[in-house]
Structure formats: structure tokens, C-alpha cells
A and B are shown apart, each in its own frame.
Chain A
Amino acid sequence: MTASVPSFAMGDIGFLLLIFFVILARVQDDSHVQWDPAVLRDLEGAGSPLANVAIDSAYRTYLNGEELKNELLAPRLNAILGNAPVGQRNVFLKVHREAQAQHFEPVIQAIGEAGGDLVHILEPEPEQ
């Protein structure tokens, strides 16, 4: 008597693994950036971005998960945003809550120079 591994399910398992990794793989992955969002009331849904800019707890600037100097931010954003019409040029800005104006104001200026539609990503204040 022999017991064989049911091979008919291997195709299904392989397909599911493929979907699993496709969903997990994100082009604009900035999950490694360490930051705590500021908390604010009455926030809106942020939509979907063309680019993600982040300032982490060490006050380093990242564009789509890649560390970048502030001087290079505007031209790189310009290249990403391209000819997208106004209203469809969302740029998400994720700033660590303790970051200071000397860190985030140049970044905001760069986003403005690139013509991005700035969206500050924040944490909603818990309702009391």
C-alpha cells in the first residue's frame, strides 16, 4: 500500500502564494520609515498618492521609501508627477510629530515647487 501526496492541490497553493506576495509587494513601500504621526481632529480620507514623502524620527527625508536630500526632492517629485492634471497630483507627507520647522518647511516648499497637491498624513484624534 502506498500513500501519495495529493498533487492536484499544488497548483492552487502556488497560485495563492503568488497572490499573497503580489498583494504584499508595494511599489511605494515606506513601511521601514520610523515615524509617529501627529494627532488631529476632523480629518478626511486622503485618497491615493502619486508619491510619498516622509520625515522620520531622525529627521531624515524619504521619497517613496528612499532616503533623499531636500535639494533633490523637487526635481525628483517633478519627474514623478509629470503632466498629471491638478487635483490628481497627490503627494502624501508623513512627518514625525516631533520634527521641527527647520526639517519640514523645506520639504513642504519642495512639494510646492514641484506642483504637488500636498496631503498631510495624520492620525485621527480618538473620540472621547
Chain B
Amino acid sequence: MKLPRRQLLVDPPAASSSDIAFILIIFFLVCASVQPETGLAQTLPRTEEKKERKQQSKNLEVSITPSSIILNGSPLQLEEFRKRITTALQAKKRAEDKVVVVKSTATTHYDHWIRVSQAIARAGGTVTLELQSERTITVD
């Protein structure tokens, strides 16, 4: 009697392999696109044209040039600036006094500027920008 034998080698169903490949593509695309971005949040005080002079005189002023950082008239490198700004801001008790006025030369690069901003933020300061504005004065 001939016994019925099952076929041992069976071809896998090939009809769904394209669906599987497609789902894998979508899986990797979704994973690649949901990488969260990293950054540095910065609080911007509202810009005002007229400032109270008494208030302004209490705020620290930092000037950033392409090669150095000037705090209280002393040119510093980043590491020294971090220490000095931390010490200076620790002495300030009110939030208004912790506002640091930052002036940059026109050619200061962004990567240098952002490092200084981060140092000020870590020391507890709030960065506010002092921008140069153009005015037309008519002389008779």
C-alpha cells in the first residue's frame, strides 16, 4: 500500500514578500524621521528703546568679539568668563539685576556667540541683546 507522504519542502508564500519589504521601508523611515531635535531654550526679555538709566547701570554688560569676551572691560577667554560671570551674578539678588546686556561685533560667529549665551544662562543670567540702530538726522 502506498502511503501518502507530505511534501517536505514547501515554498514560502512569495505573494506577501513585497508587502513585508514595504512595511520595513516605512518602519525605518518613521524611525529616522522622529529623531527629536536638541537645542538650547533662551528667554528673551521684551526689547525696549527707552531704558531707565538707573536700572540699566545695574545690569552687567558683555561684549563679544570674534576672539574674546569682554566683561567689565577685561577681555577673557570662555573658561575664565564662565567663572567671572557666575561670581558676578551670584551677587545679584533681584531677577531684574540678572539681565545681562550682550553686545556683539557684527562679525562675531554664531557658534562663539551661543557658547557665551549658554555660559550666561548657566550662571543664572538672562540674555538681552543691545543692537545698533540706524537713525537719520537732518541737519539744517
Please state if B107 and A102 are interface contacts (CB–CB under 8 Å).
yes
Residues of A in contact, count (CB < 8 Å): 43
* Contact-residue bracket for chain B: 35 or more
Interface digits, A95-128 against B, CB 8 Å rule (1 contact, 0 not)? 1111111101110110111001111111110000
Contact (A44, B114) CB under 8 Å given A13-B19, A102-B107: no
A97→B115 CA distance, assembly (Å): 11
Residue from B15, B109, B115 in contact with A40 in the complex, judged by beta carbons closer than 8 Å: B115
Smallest CB gap from B33: residue in A = A23
A40→B110 CA distance, assembly (Å): 12
A101→B117 CA distance, assembly (Å): 13
Please state if A101 and B105 are interface contacts (CB–CB under 8 Å).
yes
Which A residues touch B39, using CB under 8 A? 43-44, 46, 92, 119-122
- Is A50 located at the chain interface by the 8 A CB criterion? no
A123→B37 CA distance, assembly (Å): 8
Which B residues touch A40, using CB under 8 A? 40, 114-115, 118
- Is A12 located at the chain interface by the 8 A CB criterion? yes
Contact (A39, B41) CB under 8 Å given A16-B23, A46-B36, A100-B106: no
Which B residues touch A120, using CB under 8 A? 39-42, 114, 117
A38→B115 CA distance, assembly (Å): 9
Spell out B's residues near A (CB within 8 Å): 15-16, 18-19, 22-23, 25-26, 29-30, 33, 36-47, 64, 104-111, 113-115, 117-118, 129, 131
**What are 20 of the A-B contact pairs (CB < 8 Å)?**
A9-B16, A13-B18, A13-B19, A16-B26, A19-B26, A23-B26, A24-B29, A40-B40, A43-B39, A46-B37, A92-B37, A98-B109, A101-B106, A108-B44, A112-B45, A116-B44, A117-B41, A117-B43, A121-B38, A124-B38
Spell out A's residues near B (CB within 8 Å): 6, 9, 12-13, 16, 19-20, 23-24, 38-40, 42-46, 92, 95-102, 104-106, 108-109, 111-113, 116-124
